[in-house]
Amino acid sequence: MIPITVVDVRDAEDLVVEVLRSGAIAQGPMVKRFEDAFAAVSGTKHAIAVNNGTTALVASLQVLDLKPGDEVITSPFTFVATLNAILEAGATVRFADIRRDDFAIDTDAVAKVVTDRTKVLMPVHLYGQTADMGKLAPLAAEHGLQVIEDSAQAVGASFEGKQAGSFGIGCFSLYATKNITTAEGGVITTDDDALADKLRVLRNQGMRARYQYEVAGHNYRMTDLHAAVGIPQLAKLDQLTAARQANAKRLSEGLAGTPGLDVPQVLPGREHVWHQYTVLVGPHAFLSRDELAAALTERGIGNGIYYPKIVFDYDCYAGHDLIPGARVEDFPVAQAVAAQALSLPVHPHLTESDLDTIIETVREVLGA
């Protein structure tokens, strides 16, 4: 089996042992070291480590002091954490349709759903490429909106030289399958000193110092053990990204012209870090998306469907009073992409033989 992803954190063994031998494994100097390294990578003044990517989104919304009825606009084509975080923060969710070329929220669609109650724009940088921040950021500024970037899959990605997570408040996931992992973990990035201070207090049960409580807080802390896993990966992020980019280029060259298959695009001005290599299996392909996925699995090629439905199209969200008026049919691009998207292996551990096998098998089963 050629797996859809490979997790290799053996470079962290020395730092993990160092933490274990220190006897202090909760948040401490290793977390600070990780935060400093992450801030340098993201091009921001502050990086605040937390215990997962969902927490990063929740905490970022909480420090904005949203009131009941305040709206957050986001993408209907995303992992459920995006939606869950908004609901947990008590905000009202509004969705805007996506673009087919970058899988991200469409600026024109956002402009149509902004109201005087809208307070936050939350674009999702999906699969490793940023949304069109050249249009989204000015639109947010025009309407006085805070920007929270769901950058869970986009560490190292950039738009016209500006890093993902540096257009407002950036929220990253460090889950086991991400390009940079701490097994579980997340990071919030910002250039705003006051927001960074509020986030650090919030994540530590609202304490400025021991038993000096300033807000009703939470335990959102990362441990030194988790930070130790991530530090060596940050040091070689450029190398890991370059391998993914080379693999994606090889896949796109090999799969170009396959009937019914659209390969992913790298749009002008964007640095794609290829968390996922996601093709679209169109309606005129020899096999449907689900049939192609099954055929590849049978032939030993890992693949993934991210994501099979629009994010709110599940019974648990039906009639939810914090998602007013959301109907699947109102998002035709997202609906089509959810039915067609299929991710193929692109991770740094693929061999030339693996890449050849993936390309040859996809073309074969699609009748190319």
Question: Which tokens in the block code for residue 39?
Answer: 């801030």
pLDDT band at 368 (very low <50, low <70, confident <90, very high): confident
> What pTM, to 2 d.p., does this model score?
0.97
User: Which parts of the chain fold into alpha helices (H)?
Assistant: 13-22, 29-42, 53-62, 80-88, 107-113, 133-142, 193-203, 224-235, 237-255, 289-298, 332-340, 352-365
What's the pLDDT score for residue 320? 87
Determine contact, residues 41/235, Cβ cutoff 8 Å: no
92-95/71-74 β-pairing: parallel
Instruction: Tell me the CATH number for domain 10-232.
Output: 3.40.640.10
Residue 325 above 90 pLDDT? no
For the four alpha carbons of 55, 59, 61 and 67, in that order, the dihedral sign comes to positive
Annotated catalytic residue within 45, 67, 135, 178: 178
Write down the domain spans for the chain: 10-232, 238-366
Q: Residues 168-208: pLDDT tens digits? A: 999 999 999 999 999 999 999 999 999 999 999 999 999 99
What is the mean predicted confidence (pLDDT) over 295-318?
A: 97
For 166, how many CA atoms within 13 A lie in the half-sphere containing its CB? 18
Determine contact, residues 275/151, Cβ cutoff 8 Å: no
Fold of 238-366: Aspartate Aminotransferase, domain 1 (3.90.1150)
In angstroms, the CA 256 to CA 311 distance is 30
Give yes or no: 178 in active site.
yes
